[in-house]
Amino acid sequence: MSEYIGDIYYDYGNSLYINMTNLCSNRCEFCIRDMADSLGTANSLWLKREPTYEELVEGLAEVDLDAYKEVVFCGYGEPTERVEDLINLTKEIKSRADVIVRINTNGLGDLINGYKISPKLENVIDSVSVSLNTSNAEAYNDLCHPEFGIKSYQAMLDFTEEVKKYVPDVRMSVVSVISSKEIEECREIANQLDVKFMVR
Ligand code: SF4
C-alpha cells in the first residue's frame, strides 16, 4: 500500500484479523483501545483515516490468505459501522481462499445502519460473536455508553435473535471485568437465546 494508514490486517493467535474501521457507537470502559495502541502483530490499530474500500482490497494483496483457517473482523472499531464494505470484502476474501469468516460485533449494527443487517450476512458470514457484557440495559448503558442510549441493549438482544436465522454460528461474550454473579446472569441470557456463551 502506497500510504501507511495504520494496520488494517494483522495476526492475532492463529487467525487473520481485519481492523477496517475506528468508528464505534460505544465507548466501553473496558475497551482495549484505551489501554494499548496495538494487538497481535499490529504496530498501530489507530488508523490515520478510514481506508477506502479500494484500499482494503489493495491491502489484501499483501496477505497470504492460504496461511489462515479463520478471518476475524475485529479491531479498534465496530465492523458493522461499514457493513457494506465488510460484506463486499468478505466476498472478495472467499473468492480467494477457503476460510471461515467471523465478525466480532457490539450487536448494534441495526441501529447504526438504520435497517436490519442480518439478512445481508446470509451465505457470506460464517460466525458472529456479539458482545453481551451486562445482564440489563441500565448496566449496559453505564458500562458501554452507547450513543443510542437505553434502547441499545434490547437492540443488541434482538440482533442476536435475528442473526441466528442467517448465520450458522452465533455466540455471545462478556469480559471478565464484571462480577461472577453478572457473568452467570449473562450466561442465562445466552442460554435463553440458544447461543454459545464465552467469557473473555
Ligand atoms: S464496542 Fe468494541 S470497539 Fe467499541 S468501545 Fe466497545 S469494546 Fe471498544
Secondary structure of residue 121 in the 3-state scheme = helix
In CATH, what number is assigned to the domain containing residue 174? 3.20.20.70
**26 lies in some domain:** yes
Q: For residue 24, which atom of ligand 1 is closest to its CA?
A: 4
For residues 16-22, average pLDDT: 98
d(C-alpha 53, C-alpha 35), whole Å: 28
- Residue 101's alpha-carbon distances to 71, 125, 174, 176, 192, in angstroms, are 5, 6, 21, 25, 25
Number of domains in the chain: 1
**162 lies in some domain:** yes
Give pLDDT, residue 2. Answer: 61
Q: Are 43 and 7 in contact (CB under 8 A)?
A: yes
| pLDDT tens digit sequence for 151-169 | 999 999 999 999 999 999 9
pLDDT at 34 over 90: no
**1 lies in some domain:** no
pLDDT at 1 over 80: no
**83 lies in some domain:** yes
**3 lies in some domain:** no
| pLDDT tens digit sequence for 84-114 | 999 999 999 999 999 999 999 999 999 999 9
**101 lies in some domain:** yes
Of 78, 108, 134, 148, the one to substitute when testing ligand 1's pocket (max ligand atoms within 8 A of C-beta) is 78
User: Which residue(s) pair with 169 in the sheet?
Assistant: 127
**157 lies in some domain:** yes
